[in-house]
Amino acid sequence: MPVLSGSKPGCLTLLFSAGVIEGRILIQILRSDNRTAIIANPFTRQQDVMNSKKSKTANDRSIAENRRARHDYFIEDRFEAGLVLQGWEAKSLRAHTAQITESYVQLRNGEAWLIGAHFTPAKTTAAYVKADPTRSRKLLLQRNQLDRLIGTVERKGFTLVPLNLHWTKGRAKLEIGLAKGKKQHDKRATDKDRDWQRQKERILKR
């Protein structure tokens, strides 16, 4: 750590040392009477406010997330697809009543479909509307993206996993992961990494 010192006649001598641990600034103050103090993140108040605003914006865009996907699969690549929705389904997404944990993406006849996603009809849905919460929903991708996905899934044994639903410029989008399944020991390693990350966050918040 770089060390700075400062003193005045008749005053205590102070030694300052600074460093960065896990992206956080730590400053240690050593006094001439052998007392020490550590100040963590003294200059990050403004940064914390900015991060809070970014987090709020991300939460506003998010609709639903498939948390199980990252535990069960290695995600090799990601694609963003549009969805063909009915009116009541758009209302359901705005009410955050969609679930994609049990869903998957199927390729058939040169098209991509979201299968098994559950969209709960909003209470304001008209009675005459026949709402099917788990209907198959067509996904909108560019032709070259579809060709690439079809080739990769058929020849290399990949699978397509829904990762999250979100808003992009006012339109509902689905992030799709080009994935391969994890083996049991891979899942245990993922659990250990997740637990370690949580432990580090708890330590740094102290």
Kindly report the pTM of this predicted structure.
Answer: 0.62
Question: Which one of 34-38, 48-52, 201-205 scores highest in mean pLDDT?
Answer: 201-205
- pLDDT at residue number 189: 62
Nearest CA among 170, 181, 194, 185 for reference residue 63: 170
199 vs 161, more confident: 161
What backbone phi and psi angles, to 5 degrees, belong to 92?
Answer: -60, -40
What backbone phi and psi angles, to 5 degrees, belong to 195?
Answer: -65, -40
Section 32-58 average pLDDT: 51
The answer on pLDDT for 44 being more than 90 is no
Residues 114-124 pLDDT 10s: 999 999 998 87
How does DSSP classify residue 139?
Answer: E
Nearest CA among 135, 133, 140 for reference residue 98: 133
Architecture of domain 60-186: Beta Barrel (2.40)
CA separation for the pair 173, 85 (Å, rounded): 11
CA separation for the pair 62, 96 (Å, rounded): 9
Tokens encoding 118: 């559950």
